[in-house]
Amino acid sequence: MNSKVNILRHFECSDSRPGLNNTKEGGNCQKNRNMIDSTVIAGGNRLESDIKSRFAGKPPERADGFTLVELLTVIAVIAVLAALLLPALSKAREDAQSASCKNLLKQIGLGLKMYASDYGWYPPLAERGDPSVCFDRLFPYYPVHWTNASWNCPVYIAHNGILSREMVATNSIGISYSYNWLGIGAGGRGTTPLGLGHLPKNSAKELAIAAPSEMYAVADARCEVGQGFAGMAGCIKMSPYQLDNETPPPHGNGLNTLFVDGHVAWVKRNDFLYPPRTACHWNRDNQPHPEQWASMSQWVITN
């Protein structure tokens, strides 16, 4: 407070100059003294308050933000939500891929119907001396080559499915869709062609299909792995019997299937591959023909 006293003494004009208090100059001096007095007192009060705050143990105010506990809680909530949503997102993706596959099969179905309408019979699987297959004959009606990824099932492509004209020509594998070429028969000598046709001579006539809305025409190919190649390869020959190193079906527990009339439906694998339940759907006359079935040891599904 010594500084305050010295400053006040300096401005005590009325003591050093008699009569000054009653003059204008004296009034100014008094005002200056009052202002200085107020400033010094206020400054002292602030200093005293700061000192008391420091020694009173009052913690400093913290900036707004998350504590560690709050941050961990938020992370835990996000993890729980992700665990709940991921299965739904995965299911939505699978549904979208299946819908895309069905649309591709419908395009193939339109090509089949137009081909049959123009020629009076369905395209054969193959022809001797000709490297083309049944799907090549549909190109004028569905102008996308079957060796193009956009022609094939998106699930097959996503799982590194092989597309190879050479492999199809030599081993009947290397494509995502299969063709009902033979029907329920096991193949070999004595097998009656009951499908849409193996060679031109036994291609099914358009009017020979007894129940177009019930007969299988094209379906997701059953695929195998190994056999000296990388990835998986689908078989172009539709068959309900044993296949070595077979992979799971592409759409849940079933296969998307095109029927002769052009509609597409998902068929449960256990039904598709069990002759007693679905044999008639393989054959052009809509009859089961058990005499054509392979022995039970070759069945994939037995009950």
The residue extents of the domains of the chain are 2-44, 97-298
Strand arrangement of the beta sheet that strand 264-268 belongs to: 177-179, 216-220, 254-259, 264-268
Nearest in space to 151 (alpha carbons), one of 142, 160, 159: 142
Q: Which residues pair with 268 in a beta bridge?
A: 254
What gap in Å lies between CA 180 and CA 184, rounded to an integer?
A: 9
At residue 14, the pLDDT reads: 44
Low-confidence ranges of the chain (pLDDT < 70): 1-64, 227
At residue 65, the pLDDT reads: 72
Q: Quick one: residue 53, left, alpha or beta (phi over 0 = left, psi -120 to 50 = alpha)? A: alpha
Give the other-Cβ count within 10 Å of 280's Cβ. Answer: 18
Model-level pTM? 0.74
What gap in Å lies between CA 59 and CA 53, rounded to an integer?
A: 9
Alpha helix ranges (H) inside 11-59: 13-16, 24-55
At residue 51, the pLDDT reads: 52
Token couple for 258: 């095109």
What gap in Å lies between CA 212 and CA 206, rounded to an integer?
A: 9
What gap in Å lies between CA 41 and CA 4, rounded to an integer?
A: 9
CB 177 within 8 A of CB 106: no
* 152 SS3 class: coil
At residue 119, the pLDDT reads: 97
What gap in Å lies between CA 246 and CA 68, rounded to an integer?
A: 51
